Amino acid sequence: MRLLVTGGAGFIGANFVHSTVREHPEDSVTVLDAFTYAGRRESLADVEDAITVVKGDISDAALVAALVAESDAVVHFAAETHVDNSLEDPWTTLQTNVVGTFAILQAVRRHDVRLHHVSTDEVYGDLELDEPSRFTESTPYNPSSPYSATKAASDLLVRAWVRSYGVRATISNCSNNYGPYQHVEKFIPRQITNVLTGRRPKLYGSGANVRDWIHVDDHNSAVRRILEKGENGRTYLIAAEGERDNLTVMRAILQALGHDPDDFDHVTDRAGHDLRYAIDPTSLYNELGWAPKHANFEEGLRATIDWYRANESWWRPLKDATEGRYEERGQ
């Protein structure tokens, strides 16, 4: 397959490119990435000789059309992905997530190319802590933040292009990812690198908020399975039964790094902070025979901590500026 991977220099996209080069050497991979603050050439250094990298914006319709015309499938990861940034700068988030996805859709429509659109469980809003139900494919969309609202909008555009124009597309909505190459603005790498740089970790509010953690390699193996075996027009929910509250994850990180588990600061909570995400991945398990390989979260967390210890040169250049931005917000 000739694959066009948008956002392939970001966290999940770069891990997807690595696993594709490793496991599918018969594929050719072209990365289209704008190299925003979140995209890094260093994340593709190990595979750069095996792939083609194009620097460009997914909203650039002419560029996107030219690249799509030479592809058999597009795996669309590119997005503005951080909720806190979307609260501060909703316009950039809207432009990339909505207008950018529109440009991708127009190009795959024109050239009849298969699309897999990567999305998030945040489109479903949040759940109560003690609610027995989890998100399913039929849960109504109820996004809370500019980020999740724009991802919801992009999902709906994909559904409309499937129905109205017969575009061959699938959508996946995944829970919170962790693993190597994740930007230090995100919860888990922020706390690990705070400890490694002598800063105190920072917990929003009381830490009661629950996220449903999945290792990035498991997310990507599910994306590959959907790309190969998914039914056009379908939405698949990806998760690994990994619900944990933030306080528990914070303490696990501190303990794994040999620190007192209560050695952190409570900081200003996020505006509109979603309380709990939880996904029911049964149909992906049953229909596509997929299962996660990294089922033990604590083990995956330790391996992730080891990666950040061993790869300081990757994250060190990002750290001070990221913390500077958080300091301005009182977080």
Residues engaged in binding ligand DAU (CB under 6 A): 81-83, 120-122, 175-176, 186-187, 190, 202-204, 209, 211, 246, 270, 277
Catalytic residue among 80, 121, 217, 323: 121
238 Cα distance to chain centroid:
12
**Residue 307 binds what, of ligand DAU, ligand NAD, none (CB under 5 to 8 Å, by partner type)?**
none
**Residue 215 binds what, of ligand DAU, ligand NAD, none (CB under 5 to 8 Å, by partner type)?**
none
8 to 47, contacts with ligand NAD by CB under 6 A?
9-13, 33-36, 38-39
Least Å distance, CB 79 to ligand NAD, is: 3
Cα–Cα distance for residue pair 163/308, rounded to 1 Å: 44
Catalytic residue among 124, 147, 236, 277: 147
β strands within the chain, DSSP E? 2-6, 28-33, 52-55, 73-76, 114-120, 169-174, 177-178, 202-204, 210-212, 214-215, 235-238, 243-245, 265-267
Least Å distance, CB 2 to ligand DAU, is: 27
Of 136, 60, 144, the residue nearest 102 (C-alpha): 60
Residue 118 binding ligand NAD, by CB under 6 A: yes
Least Å distance, CB 183 to ligand NAD, is: 5
140 to 169, contacts with ligand NAD by CB under 6 A?
151
Q: Identify whether 122 is a catalytic site residue.
A: yes
Q: How far apart are the first and last CA of the chain?
A: 44
DSSP state of 296: -
* Residue corresponding to tokens 């560029």: 63
Q: Identify whether 89 is a catalytic site residue.
A: no
Return the range that interacts with ligand NAD (CB under 6 A); candidates 45-53, 75-83, 276-284, 313-321.
75-83
Least Å distance, CB 72 to ligand DAU, is: 27
- Bridge partners (DSSP) of residue 211 are 244
Exposed/middle/buried for residue 173 (C-beta within 10 Å: 0-12, 13-18, 19+): buried
User: What single letter denotes the amino acid at residue 171?
Assistant: I
* Residue corresponding to tokens 């301005």: 328
Q: Identify whether 147 is a catalytic site residue.
A: yes
> Which residues form the catalytic set?
121-122, 147
**Residues that bind ligand NAD in the complex, under the rule CB under 6 A:** 6-7, 9-13, 33-36, 38-39, 57-59, 77-81, 96, 100, 118, 120, 151, 174, 176-177, 183
